Structure 1
Amino acid sequence: MLPALCSLFTALSCVSGVTVVTQKPPVLTLTRGQTATMDCNLGTVTDSTARWYKQVPGGVPQHVLRNYHEWDAPKYGSGFSSPKFTSTHSSKSDYKLIIRTKLIVSDAALPAPVLTVLPPSSEELKSKKGTLVCLASDVAGGFADVRWLVSGNSVTSGVITGSAQQQANKKFTLTSYLTIDSCEWENDKVITCEVSAAGKPRSGED
């Protein structure tokens, strides 16, 4: 029985080393109490085990469960069990992962991230462009939304945000960049970086 790997990563993607495996939706956002459902298609391989793995930023993949169309129930990796995690199948190549979420910690217990906004360099501004840097540290959970505003208006053009990196204290840091025309900087427009992590927003201006 040839294994196909269906991986539950941060971006909720599905991959395989032996066939083209697709997972829908590719990204899934939930609120507390909702049930996550992801469909995995094993492609042309119809006699294979579907396997899901969980990985958090800075951690190693953990085997959640595997399922096969001839089994009565999925088989679990260490530390994972029903009813929070389960899997069903509708054919030899179509599988479904179901995760039942629950409240684990309240937003009030999580501190807001620490923001530092750095202005563009004078040398760069001579090239008619300028890049501002927004550094968010002590981000809880490794997940955060970053938004740039120019004079109160949200902008997406010229924005590049990197992935979260784990700090020594087990929290995370991430960096976002905003490139603007030098005239916007010289006209003293108010530029704001907003970072929201686990429901805790924080703004930084330059």
Structure 2
Amino acid sequence: MCFGLFTDVDAAKVLTQTPAFKTVSTGQQVVLGCNIQKPESYYVSWYKQVPGGTPQYVLAFYHAYSSPEFGAGFSSDRFNSKATSDIEYQFIIKQAKTGDTAVYYCRTWDDSVSEKNLICKSSDETAEDPQHDVSLWCKGLVLSNQTFHISSSLSIQTSDWNMNKVYTCKVSLGSQTAEKTINKSGCPAEEQ
């Protein structure tokens, strides 16, 4: 089995994973490392991605706690995480199975980029015509170096938009969440 690792790079923080590749036999323990560069008060989350598939949230762990939180379908029977310091985290597969072959990567939240990476935009060129809807777009750039681009749109009535009603865009990944409110005065059509 071959395990690939992925380095998560964003504007303010570089997460370094080791080793780059790891090959083990079925039944062996797998230990993957993640250095988060600086101490912080956020969980370190681990994800599994099989070729052609979407990333699956496996677990999240914080060095001051005794056990990780697990994603759906993953449990302490097979997986664990620990920290050897406040910046060195480990992801552990207790006994490797064929289905564990994948790319694994770690991530953590970064306050300096989370809010900036939520962008709201409205398309209200027809706002004077009550027969047309207004489209609201929310884009979240959650990770970089093979960035996940998450986008969503919502069509609302022009009358609601013109009344300056507030809508909330919420982007979640693992145990972290960022949100931004959208209304006509706070997010005009020309905002990029």
Q: TM-score range by the shorter chain?
A: 0.3 to 0.5
When the two structures are superposed, what TM-score results if normalisation uses the length of structure 2?
A: 0.46
Which has the higher Rg, Structure 1 or Structure 2? Answer: 1
When the two structures are superposed, what TM-score results if normalisation uses the length of structure 1?
A: 0.43
